[in-house]
Amino acid sequence: MLSIDLTGKTALVLGGSRGIGAGITEALCAAGAYTVFTHTGRPEHRERVEALVRKIEVAGGRVREAAVDALDSRATESLVEGIVAESRRLDILVCNVGKNQARPPEQIDDASWREFLDLNLTVSFYGVRAALPVMERQHYGRIVLIGSSAVYDGGGGAIDYAAPKAALTGMMAYLCRTYLKKGILTNIVHPCVIETDLLKERYGDPDKKRKLIEQIPVGRLGQPEDIAGLTAFLCSSWGDYICGQEILADGGRTIFNK
């Protein structure tokens, strides 16, 4: 039976405590990777974080949670330094931090624009910048940037979400051009209509949810596991020949729902 084996690998998931991020954290651990995931550290989310850790440990996975301010670049650097001190390596980086708030451009002030640009783009740069020296020394690394189908159709509800997600393409292109021959592979996964807490809030009305599902050719909403499995695949030996790709995981909605 074919399987994804990440035994002996060390992974960092930035934004890995809920939704797509939690799914990725679980999948990497299930595949055998020791995984550190970050979260905001808010007291109201403590129970959720502890539940995720317990679930993974009960299943036999190795995991550690870290409360990190995603906008604090030094905190990200310190986290990577601590992981390397502990594990002697960092093999996998998944950049999943992001924020989306549906509203028209005229309602976005300068401060809000900068905040959303930072959360959806700059935070990924902080993670990449911290991880690259370690991966370069190892001559091995797998970087997965979590984008959005909004880069193709402008969806997602806000210009300050679609624009920085699109900028991840340039980041990936640079990383591939500069670091591919050093053993570091980078790809982007673009999710769409994944059944996270945000989507459940936005489509809480059963009729609205039904109409949304009707737009998806495969006939269902995506699940965090759909993105998690793809991410784990890209980080495994099965993904060793895949680099510089933007993979759209949307049930066919973006291209075929026209």
Would you state the structure tokens that stand for residue 142, as one six-digit string?
């797998």
Reduced to 3 states (helix: H, G, I; strand: E, B; else coil), residue 22 is: helix
What is the spatial distance between Cα 77 and Cα 74, in angstroms, rounded to a whole number?
5
Q: What are the angstrom distances between the C-alpha of 34 and each of 61, 159, 223, 244? A: 7, 36, 23, 25
Q: Which residues make Cβ contacts (< 8 Å) with residue 238, sequence separation at least 6?
A: 4
Can you say how many angstroms the Cα of residue 21 is from the centroid of all Cα atoms in its chain?
6
| Catalytic-labelled residue, pool 126, 140, 152, 161 | 161
Please say if 152 is a catalytic residue. Answer: no
What is the spatial distance between Cα 35 and Cα 10, in angstroms, rounded to a whole number?
6
Strand order in the sheet with 246-249: 63-67, 34-39, 10-14, 92-95, 141-146, 184-191, 246-249
Just list the catalytic residues. Answer: 161
